[in-house]
Amino acid sequence: VEQFESSTAGSLYNHIYFIYIMTESSLKCNFPKCKAVLTNSAFVTRCSHIFCKNHRIVGEGLDRRCPACNTILEGGYDLIGTNLNPPEELKSTILMGYSPDIVFEVMSKALQFWEFQMNMQIMYQKTGVDHLRARLAKKETEWETFELNIKHYVQAQEKKVGHLKGEVETLTHALKDVGDQMNEKNRQLHNLQSRYEALRCQNVTTTMMTKDSE
């Protein structure tokens, strides 16, 4: 008996330790997309699933199935209602009269149920984290693509600006050349006008002198 109790106690210790590190966790309804936190009453199945009162399993015999795993719950104890927050009076008497073997077996199965539920929550959270990581990776890829496109766009615009600057410089030089040519033409025209005026004045003077001599 001592050897049995020692072996059983060791197994129970592992379960208790697992539950201990999950003390901040609560049982949640296993109905798909529900995940309501269970604090008082609930319904537990033989397949180690638990549901809130809003998702109580209905039906009889082969028609009564677990919504989480589709297990048939036709037995009288395959689906039971339970109080998750029993009064102290019930805690002090519920296991009285059972042999140590039965008590340890009940405790072991109860702890296995909790371990199963905690593992389900961990897997659910892990799936959620993996989903978020996948979304994050997708967003990072989209951002990198967007950033690369922006970089290429900026480079293309900078290249266009460079071409435009070159064209502006060319046009500026061309305008300067045209301006210089116009200034030269104006200078030549001014000289020509000055020479013309001088010749005209000279002709007028000559004509007047000729008339005077006559």
Categorise residue 47: left if φ over 0, alpha if ψ from -120 to 50, beta otherwise: alpha
- Joined tokens for residue 5: 């109790």
What is each CA distance from 76 to 27, 160, 201, 207, in whole angstroms? 24, 81, 139, 148
- Joined tokens for residue 38: 């269970």
**Helix, strand or coil for residue 79?**
strand
What residues contact 22, with CB distance under 8 A and at least 6 apart? 114, 118
152 alpha carbon, distance to own chain's centre: 25
pTM, two decimals, is: 0.58
Model confidence pLDDT, tens digit, residues 126-150: 998 999 999 999 999 999 999 999 9
The mean pLDDT of 140-169, rounded to a whole number, is: 95
Model confidence pLDDT, tens digit, residues 198-214: 888 888 777 777 766 66
Residue position matching structure tokens 């029993």: 86
Return the half-sphere exposure (C-beta side, CA atoms, 13 A cut-off) of residue 155.
Answer: 6
